[in-house]
Amino acid sequence: MTKNIRITAVIAIVAIIGVTYGIYTLSGHKAPREGNVAPVEGTVSQAELDRATASLKSAINVADQLSGTTGTSFTFQAQPTYGHYGNFGLVKYVNQVKGVGLVDETAVTFHGETDNDNAEVDSKTGQVISFHRSIDHTNPGKEKTQAEIETTMRIFLNEVYPDFKQVEPTLTFSPGIKGVRLNNGNYFFDWEDNDYQKQLPEGVETERAPFIQVGITSSGYIFSYNNTIDIYRNALKEFNLTQ
């Protein structure tokens, strides 16, 4: 049985890998998975809510400053109970179709004004794991060159993820663009940890490899950010999962 079939079966049978919403890929926005996941128990403390909100505000502010859209209102609202991470999950298989989740998911999740506006923050560290927000297609802004776009994206990453320069050499970089022509579409810059699975014991798998992704328009508006590198690496240490 293939890995994808096994993962689908695990989700359907034991409902352990939660997905709140999909990721942006080079082929477009990934549709959310079915809502057949087990609820996450626990109420987020006020201290966690405050720290998560401050972290998300800071990341959004950096993105707005770089895109020249400062002064916009912060519309994300933190949810009072823990949620699942959209792109994080570790499972150990006990047979071909049954597995058990190895890591509790305690994300501080945020909802925005639309279904496309959402975010996740690590409740333990306060690190922003993801944010996705709508694009104003009525005011696209002046197009930038690909070099300018990549410079903007890297400044953003170094601000919101200070360990980026140290971590980048261990990742595989995949630049890309979704659009009709260069500078007439949305850029998606991806880094993936392809060696992570090699560190896991036999039978333990991830939903997808740890990754970083930044989505940015041709005018420099950063509309999406994902970073699961640290929550995966911290899980290795916390739950002693290295082989």
Tens digit of pLDDT for each residue in 55-73?
A: 999 999 999 999 888 767 8
Indicate the pLDDT class of residue 15, thresholds 50, 70 and 90.
Answer: very low
Q: How far apart are CA 63 and CA 93, in angstroms?
A: 40
Residue 165: is its pLDDT beyond 90? yes
Model-level pTM?
A: 0.80
The residue ranking higher by pLDDT, 15 or 215, is 215
pLDDT in tens, 73-88: 899 999 999 999 999 9
Residue ranges covered by each domain of the chain: 3-238
pLDDT for residue 13? 35
Q: Could you give the 3-state DSSP secondary structure of residue 25?
A: strand
Compute φ and ψ for 216, nearest 5 degrees: -145, 140
pLDDT in tens, 193-229: 988 888 888 888 887 899 999 999 989 999 999 999 9
Q: What mean pLDDT do residues 106-132 have?
A: 96
Residue 8: is its pLDDT beyond 70? no
State the average pLDDT for the chain: 80
Tell me how many degrees the CA angle 74-75-79 measures, rounded to the nearest 5.
Answer: 120
Indicate the pLDDT class of residue 241, thresholds 50, 70 and 90.
Answer: low
Tell me how many degrees the CA angle 155-156-159 measures, rounded to the nearest 5.
Answer: 85
pLDDT for residue 89? 86
